[in-house]
């Protein structure tokens, strides 16, 4: 069947159209995306602004039209941390449903981590053994680990690259004192529950997913995206740590000129790098393998699994 996966993220709205069949990997057929930057369209009270609501509504309507044109039998919409954490999330989603007819469920942070873990597990397979997965999104950081397809532990932290950029880099590059304070905050947040993952012992394989990790890996020498998803890519702690002082000293325009960095996300590179470095350091990981599958693929895979169990099943992601 052809599915349309509508991902309302903290940075981007993305409709991924895939051909999905039980027992086969989902095959991408079409992609339609738009920069929404909902994590940065929040007012001082934590509410999505009118501009943010208008952008989300317009994109959802566009996505419906594209999905219909591409022959999608079913739409799987979901929203993540930017909508989840907004104080007016219910009002925003009610407005979108009224204007477009699309009811968008909000995934919990734990479900984000769980579904991302499922995607990474399927990509690397059972030979990965005890697997640890890290995902830096726009609004949150997800961490999960385990030996099965369902993680033994999964949690979410408010350490997304867009969130940190908005809170600490809105006025330009931070000074040394501010950077040190931010680094301390990030590490304290991650370390607080690190034992959930560490008590099972070191992972046999550690992986990272998301645009932030992919960009950092490219900056640190990984193969470009044009080489295809099957080319192995890693992010090494020593290399990232060596590049960090340089990244901190670059302007947003200079960051945007680095390989793998888009102009729209350049301001998120430094906070994202601080989070990535902290993850590898605190969990004692010399490197992370970059996985091309992430949350969207996890949603698709869960839906395919339920299709195999019951072809008439219709369910929401994360349910």
Output the CA–CA distances (angstroms, integers) from residue 154 to 114, 142, 214, 229, in the order listed. Answer: 6, 7, 21, 25
Helices vs strands, H then E, count in the chain: 12, 10
Distance CA 87, CA 108 (A): 15
pLDDT of res. 124: 97
H or E segment to which residue 163 belongs: helix 161-168
pLDDT of res. 316: 46
Judge whether residue 144 has pLDDT over 90: yes
Average pLDDT score over the chain = 93
Alpha carbon of residue 29 to chain centroid: 21
Distance CA 120, CA 117 (A): 5
Judge whether residue 311 has pLDDT over 60: no
Per-residue DSSP letter, 292: S
pLDDT of res. 41: 83
The structure tokens 């053994």 sit at 129
Angle at 213 between CA 121 and CA 224, to 5 degrees: 100
Angle at 38 between CA 34 and CA 42, to 5 degrees: 150
Beta strands in the chain (DSSP E): 2-8, 12-19, 27-35, 74-79, 131-136, 141-146, 153-157, 205-209, 234-236, 287-290
What percent of the residues of the chain are helix, what percent strand, and what percent coil, each to the nearest 5?
50, 20, 35
CB–CB of 304/293 below 8 Å? no
Distance CA 140, CA 135 (A): 8
Query: Quick one: average pLDDT of 46-51?
Result: 93
Instruction: Specify the higher pLDDT residue, 305 or 124.
Output: 124
The model's pLDDT over 156-196, given as tens digits with 9 standing for 90+, comes to 999 999 999 988 887 778 889 999 999 999 999 999 999 99
Query: Quick one: average pLDDT of 67-78?
Result: 96
Judge whether residue 221 has pLDDT over 90: yes
Query: Quick one: average pLDDT of 88-114?
Result: 97
pLDDT of res. 28: 93
Question: Helices (DSSP H) in 193-310: which residue ranges?
Answer: 195-198, 211-219, 237-249, 252-256, 269-282, 295-309
Per-residue DSSP letter, 295: H
Angle between helices 269-282 and 237-249 (to 10 degrees): 150
Per-residue DSSP letter, 224: P
Distance CA 1, CA 23 (A): 13
The tokens for 225 are: 């995206």
Distance CA 2, CA 82 (A): 28
Alpha carbon of residue 303 to chain centroid: 19
pLDDT > 70 in the chain, percent? 96
Output the CA–CA distances (angstroms, integers) from residue 195 to 118, 145, 192, in the order listed. Answer: 21, 11, 8
Taking the alpha carbons of 240, 224, 145, 147 in that order, is the dihedral positive or negative? negative
Question: Comparing C-alpha atoms, which of 251, 256, 254 is closest to residue 266?
Answer: 256
β partners of residue 28:
18
Distance CA 309, CA 300 (A): 14
Judge whether residue 258 has pLDDT over 50: yes
């Amino acid at each position: 069947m052809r599915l349309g996966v509508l991902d309302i993220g903290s940075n981007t709205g993305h409709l991924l159209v895939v051909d999905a069949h039980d027992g086969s990997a989902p095959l991408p057929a079409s992609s339609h995306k738009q920069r929404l930057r909902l994590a940065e369209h929040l007012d001082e009270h934590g509410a999505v602004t009118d501009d943010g609501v208008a952008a989300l509504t317009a994109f959802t309507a566009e996505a419906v039209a594209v999905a219909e044109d591409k022959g999608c039998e079913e739409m799987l919409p979901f929203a993540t941390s930017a909508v989840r954490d907004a104080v007016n999330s219910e009002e925003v989603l009610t407005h979108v449903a009224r204007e477009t007819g699309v009811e968008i469920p909000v995934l919990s942070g734990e479900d984000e981590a769980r579904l991302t873990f499922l995607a990474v597990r399927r990509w690397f397979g059972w030979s990965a053994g005890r697997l640890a997965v890290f995902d830096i999104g726009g609004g949150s950081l997800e961490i999960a680990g385990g030996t099965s397809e369902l993680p033994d532990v999964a949690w979410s932290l408010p350490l997304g690259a867009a969130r940190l950029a908005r809170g600490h880099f809105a006025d330009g590059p931070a000074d040394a004192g501010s950077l040190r304070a931010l680094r301390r905050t990030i590490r304290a947040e991650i370390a607080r529950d690190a034992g959930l993952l560490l008590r099972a012992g070191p992972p046999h394989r550690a992986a990272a997913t998301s645009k932030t990790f992919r960009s950092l890996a490219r900056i640190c020498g990984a193969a470009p995206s044009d080489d295809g998803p099957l080319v192995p890519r890693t992010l090494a702690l020593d290399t990232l740590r060596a590049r960090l002082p340089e990244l901190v000293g670059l302007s947003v325009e200079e960051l945007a000129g680095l390989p793998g960095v888009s102009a729209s996300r350049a301001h998120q590179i430094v906070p994202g790098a601080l989070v990535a470095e902290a993850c590898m350091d605190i969990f004692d990981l010399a490197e992370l393998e970059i996985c091309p599958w992430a949350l969207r693929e996890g949603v698709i895979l869960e839906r395919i699994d339920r299709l195999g169990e019951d072809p008439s099943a219709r369910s929401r992601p994360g349910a």
